[in-house]
Amino acid sequence: MVPYLMGASSTEPLSPDALAEGRPAARGSRFRVVVETGPDARRDLPLEGTLLVGTQVEGGLRLSDPTVSRVHLELQARPEGVRVRDVGSRNGTWSLGVRIHEVTVASEARFTLGKTTLLIQPEPSDEGAETAPRTAFGRALGQSAVMQRLFGVLERTARSAFSVLLLGETGTGKELLAEAVHLASPRSARPFVIVDCGAVVPSLIESELFGHAKGAFTGAHTERQGHLVQAHGGTVFLDEVGELPLELQPKLLRVLESGTVRRVGDNAAREVDVRVVAATHRDLKAEVAAGRFRADLYYRLAVVPVRVPALRERAEDIPLLARHLFQQAGQPDFPLTEELVRRLVGYDWPGNVRELRNFVHRVLAAGDVELPDAQPVSTATATEDLSALTFKEAKERMVEAFTREYLTALLARCGNNISEVARTAGLARSHVHGLLNRYGLKAGD
């Protein structure tokens, strides 16, 4: 589960994985501090108010680790979480290799002080009775446990102004979740603007985002407001942000950091206030490692990184989604027999919710309720009429088919050695592992 970060500052951007363990804390929840490793391991105390940590603190958490400073760390319990602040220590406060100056966490988190590791964790709340699980967050549907957790994180995040990065396979509903975050936020009365970074011609995407002045380039016969200006006061959704050209990424970062935008061909800067929700099916950390995505932009977008599960990971939601899609298509009474539900739940749905929607439309149009016997990894085939799809859907089908074919051929060429596959493809080894798992391919090492 990913954390809900309330804010962070450090000598480097805070890695979203640095605090990614544990479950989000309920509002107003209590916390405990546990010494996990070091000379004082197994010490455990509640966190109430402000707690100083160091080797010479009075009334706080006093450690005997000589690599910890006399007054090393300040922990302060707040309604939104725990503020963790390094108070000028000698060796620093670290989380997965990132030095922390100050950060507020609302979920389980670990910090390293010298040779000591501290665990901050929320205590279970016994307030209130159990409530029935919700079935929706905005227009996104789901009653499975994984979606309940996802909805909870996004609903809390929506109240903040921090950037959200939605990670997951294509067709999982990231756009609906971005819209739901906007509608649950204080910006809900202002615009929600969608920018599909993968569907815009690279030479025009700067104009699409930032706008252009009249005469800025050939064909610019009139001035244009960019998407960021159109979203002023509201939310901009950067779909498939991993497709953003590398040369444009520092310009976007500058806008997000400065709060001003300059149109193409215009020297005047204009203030812009937007909340950013971004989404991608790519492994952006692997893209950063490969030099195809800027680390500083990644950390700016991934203040709250959220993984959206594939449909096969929440199969119990399939009947709910199928009924909704039939209703949406004007057939609320379509008979979902036990046999059909069993087959729907047993299918792998490589195209996720989008493929389920297409299945519903095919059933209503042609009466075809058949599903492939094998669980495919891509719905793009030589006989499929891609012209019946939107540009974005057709592109995704082709990319899925190419990726699997490429990986299959590369595995054969490299003798099923993952390290060799990663070197040949120019990808991080972890990214290759993820791709192989996704496409059901196996390899040795």
**pLDDT tens across 99-145, in order?**
888 888 877 888 999 999 999 988 765 544 455 567 899 999 999 98
Asked whether residue 238 is domain-assigned, the answer is yes
Asked whether residue 9 is domain-assigned, the answer is no
Whether residues 148 and 288 share a domain: the answer is: yes
Whether residues 216 and 324 share a domain: the answer is: no
- What whole-number distance in Å separates Cα of residue 193 and Cα of residue 235? 6
Whether residues 284 and 427 share a domain: the answer is: no
- What whole-number distance in Å separates Cα of residue 63 and Cα of residue 81? 23
Of the candidates 407, 401, 409, the one whose C-alpha atom is nearest the C-alpha of residue 433 is: 407
Whether residues 204 and 300 share a domain: the answer is: yes
Amino acid symbol at 312: R
Picking from 94, 122, 150, the residue at the C-terminal end of a domain is 122
Whether residues 279 and 346 share a domain: the answer is: no
Predicted pLDDT at 133: 67
Residue ranges for the chain with pLDDT beneath 70: 1-29, 96, 124-133, 201-204, 211-223, 264-268, 368, 372-390, 392-393, 430, 443-445
The total number of structural domains in the chain stands at 4
Whether residues 348 and 286 share a domain: the answer is: no
Predicted pLDDT at 8: 37
Strands 304-307 and 260-262: unpaired
Range of the structural domain that residue 432 is part of: 391-439
**How crowded is the C-beta side of 435, counted as CA atoms within 13 Å?**
25
Question: Is the distance from CB of 182 to CB of 188 less than 8 angstroms?
Answer: yes
Whether residues 316 and 224 share a domain: the answer is: no
Asked whether residue 25 is domain-assigned, the answer is no
Whether residues 97 and 112 share a domain: the answer is: yes
Whether residues 300 and 317 share a domain: the answer is: no
Predicted pLDDT at 59: 74
Whether residues 332 and 425 share a domain: the answer is: no
CATH assignment of the domain containing 115: 2.60.200.20
Asked whether residue 8 is domain-assigned, the answer is no
Asked whether residue 13 is domain-assigned, the answer is no
CATH assignment of the domain containing 215: 3.40.50.300
Whether residues 265 and 153 share a domain: the answer is: yes
Picking from 272, 307, 342, the residue at the C-terminal end of a domain is 307
Of the candidates 325, 310, 315, the one whose C-alpha atom is nearest the C-alpha of residue 362 is: 325
Picking from 90, 122, 154, the residue at the C-terminal end of a domain is 122
Whether residues 276 and 144 share a domain: the answer is: yes
Of the candidates 135, 137, 105, the one whose C-alpha atom is nearest the C-alpha of residue 122 is: 105
φ/ψ bin of 347: left (φ > 0), alpha (ψ from -120 to 50), beta (otherwise): beta
Predicted pLDDT at 177: 96
Spell out the residues 6+ positions from residue 325 whose beta carbon is closer than 8 angstroms to its own.
Answer: 356, 357, 360
Predicted pLDDT at 378: 42
Of the candidates 5, 11, 2, 1, the one whose C-alpha atom is nearest the C-alpha of residue 296 is: 11
